[in-house]
Structure 1
Amino acid sequence: MTLASHFRELRNRLVKAIGAVIVATVVAGLFYKQLIGFVVAPLPGCATVKGGGTAASGRCGVIAASGLLTPFTLALKVSLAAGLIGASPVWLYQLWAFVAPGLHRSEKKYTLAFLSTGIPLFLAGAAFAYAVLPTTARVLISLTPDQVTNILPIEDFLDLATRMVVVFGLSFELPLFLIMLNLAGVLSARRMVGWWRQMVLGVTVFAAIATPSTDPLTMLALAGPIIALYLAACAVSWFSDRHTARKGAASLSPDEASPLSALHESGHRR
Structure 2
Amino acid sequence: MSGPSLRRRRRRPRDPEATMTLVAHLTELRNRVAKALLALALGTVAGFLWYDHGLLTFLSEPYCSLPADLRFQGDENCRLVVLDVFGGVLLRLKIGLIAGAVLSSPFWLWQLWAFITPGLKRNEKRYAVTFVAVSTLLFSLGAVLAYVTLYKGLELLLQLAGDEVAFQLTAPDYLGFVISLLVAFGLSFELPLIAVALNLVGVLSHAALARSRRWIFFLTIVFAAFVTPTQDPFTMLAMALPMVLLFELAIQIARVVDKRRARRDAIEHFHGLSDDEASPLDATPTPLDAAPTPPDRLLAGDAAPADGPGARSR
Offset at residue 76 of structure 1 (A): 0.7
Equivalent pair of 1:144/1:150 in contact (CA under 8 Å): no
1:24 aligned partner, one-letter code: G
Query: Within 5 Å, which residues of 2 pair with 1:75-224?
Result: 75-224=92-241
* Cα 1:267/1:192, change in 2 over 3 Å: farther
* Cα 1:12/1:184, change in 2 over 3 Å: closer
Offset at residue 181 of structure 1 (A): 2.1
Q: Matches of 1:98 and 1:182 in 2, distance apart?
A: 22
* Cα 1:135/1:211, change in 2 over 3 Å: same
* Cα 1:238/1:203, change in 2 over 3 Å: same
1:127 aligned partner, one-letter code: V
Q: Which runs of 4+ in 1 moved over 3 A?
A: 44-48, 248-251, 264-268
- Equivalenced residue count is 257
User: Which among 208, 231, 236 is matched to residue 253 of structure 2?
Assistant: 236
Q: Deviations over 1:209-262 (max 9, x none)?
A: 11111211111111101101011111111122222233334443597125xx73
Q: Matches of 2:32 and 2:258 in 1, distance apart?
A: 38
Equivalent pair of 1:62/1:150 in contact (CA under 8 Å): no
Offset at residue 54 of structure 1 (A): 5.5
Offset at residue 144 of structure 1 (A): 2.2
1:6 aligned partner, one-letter code: H
Q: Deviations over 1:107-145 (max 9, x none)?
A: 211333222221211121111111111111111111121
Which residue pairs with 2:8 in the alignment? Answer: none
Q: Deviations over 1:136-175 (max 9, x none)?
A: 1111111121222122122112111122122111111122
Which residue pairs with 1:42 in the alignment? Answer: 62
Q: Percent identity?
A: 38
Which residue pairs with 2:7 in the alignment? Answer: none
Q: Please list every run of 5 or more consecutive structure 1 residues that lacks an aligned counterpart in the other structure.
A: 56-60
Offset at residue 101 of structure 1 (A): 2.7
Determine which structure has greater relative contact order: mean sequence separation of CA pairs < 8 Å that are 6+ residues apart, divided by chain length: 1
Q: Matches of 2:74 and 2:217 in 1, distance apart?
A: 48
Instruction: Give 3-state SS (helix, strand or coil) of 1:20's partner.
Output: helix
Aligned-pair RMSD on alpha carbons?
A: 2.7
Equivalent pair of 2:66/2:151 in contact (CA under 8 Å): no
Mean CA deviation greater in 10-19 or 199-208: 10-19
Instruction: Give 3-state SS (helix, strand or coil) of 2:230's partner.
Output: coil
Q: Please list every run of 5 or more consecutive structure 2 residues that lacks an aligned counterpart in the other structure.
A: 1-19, 289-314
Which residue pairs with 1:26 in the alignment? Answer: 45
1:65 aligned partner, one-letter code: V
